Homo-oligomer: A and B are copies of this chain.
């Protein structure tokens, strides 16, 4: 008995602007989708739930209790995990350890965010407060401003162009056409992306992911339960979680990568005993186009300076060396903060089960998910195996 931990079911709600759906509705939709994805799992087979969300977008405090009540997951253990935009993959890490340690057999990870009840300006203010309030965000550094600084540094260091950034958006929007749960599901030309209004130079509107409402669910189990409740269990092979200083003032130049992501990747590759070249398909945290280019270097897909070349030469397109974000990514799916990591895992699980449809990567056996919190103060990397 190796006591491996498997993913036995994945689900998500549609992502988008959903004025009529409460946090109860969204999480129910994702949970029900994941239950349907298993082989006859009943909610009573679930030993614990973990709820992932980032606080500040709605009035309900301690929402794990509301969600667990609505999904009828009482009196089993439940609580909330949070690491900004990486909240649902730190929940997955926690679920893995609950199963691996023998504390639980089956754990449901439910991530959600309800963002669009607020105005765009209010969302920007709330989101900015996931930057350092004492030293930075109070002085105007919104998330687009933070990432714009990284984009400028990248352009300065490696000759990255605005066209390179735009190509990331073009690629991800293109693939979202085949994802019926994505927000956009629509192609955009390079010219269109480049001509959208400037949000924080050099980032334009389509360089930024959209605020959205949505939920995701990932159900994990030990080996015995996985064989009972899944036709094709997908195994968690590597886990990595790194952190770095929240304030940019405490970090070191050249601001073209995230130490947290480097560290998370190092841990995950070591645990999985693989190299970056072994990855068949990846989901990376493209909250902004620049974030995807940064991830190529942080994850060791290429040397940092070669990341613009990777997008230019279509190495991360379907058919390329490592297809990335072939579900649309955050840029085109929308980014309901607490739901995003789980949605990435869902896509990767579909790929490893050969259920990718028009965006299936031939023979995908090993997949990587990369989920960043805030301005890179956390990164969670998950490696999955068919």
- Cα-based distance from A56 to B48 in the complex (angstroms): 25
Q: For window 70-102 of chain A, which residues contact chain B by CB distance below 8 Å?
A: 73-84, 86-87, 90, 93-94, 96-98, 100-102
A198-252, CB < 8 A from B: 239, 241-247, 250
Interchain nearest-CB distance for A337 vs B (Å): 10
In this complex, how many residues of chain A approach chain B with their Cβ under 8 Å: the count is: 61
In the complex where A61-B130, A378-B79 touch, is A244 in contact with B84 (Cβ < 8 A)?
A: no
For the complex, give the distance between the alpha carbons of A373 and B64 in Å.
11
- A62 beta carbon closer than 8 Å to chain B: yes
The proximity string for A residues 32-54 relative to B, scoring 1 for CB distances below 8 Å and 0 otherwise, is 00000000000000001000001
In the complex with contacts A61-B126, A66-B132, A239-B103, A259-B74 CB distance below 8 A? yes
- The reply on A260 being an interface residue by CB < 8 A is yes
Question: What residues of chain B lie closer than 8 Å to A65, measured between beta carbons?
Answer: 84, 243, 245-246, 373-374, 377-378
In the complex the two chains form, what is the Cα distance from A125 to B331 in whole Å? Answer: 37
Residues in B whose Cβ lies below 8 Å from that of A78? 83, 241, 243, 378
Most chain B CB neighbours (cut-off 10 Å) among A81, A100, A130, A244 = A81
Which residue of the partner chain, among B54, B62, B74, B246, contacts A244 with CB atoms under 8 Å?
B74
Residue numbers of A with Cβ under 8 A of B are: 22, 48, 54-56, 59-62, 64-66, 68-69, 73-84, 86-87, 90, 93-94, 96-98, 100-103, 126, 129-130, 132-134, 239, 241-247, 250, 259-260, 262-263, 373-374, 377-378
Q: What are 6 A-B contacts defined by CB distance under 8 Å?
A: A60-B134, A66-B132, A74-B260, A75-B242, A76-B263, A80-B82
* Extra 18 A-B pairs, beta carbons < 8 Å, given A62-B84, A66-B134: A55-B82, A60-B129, A62-B377, A64-B83, A65-B374, A69-B244, A69-B247, A74-B259, A74-B260, A76-B242, A77-B241, A77-B242, A79-B81, A79-B82, A80-B82, A80-B83, A94-B97, A100-B103
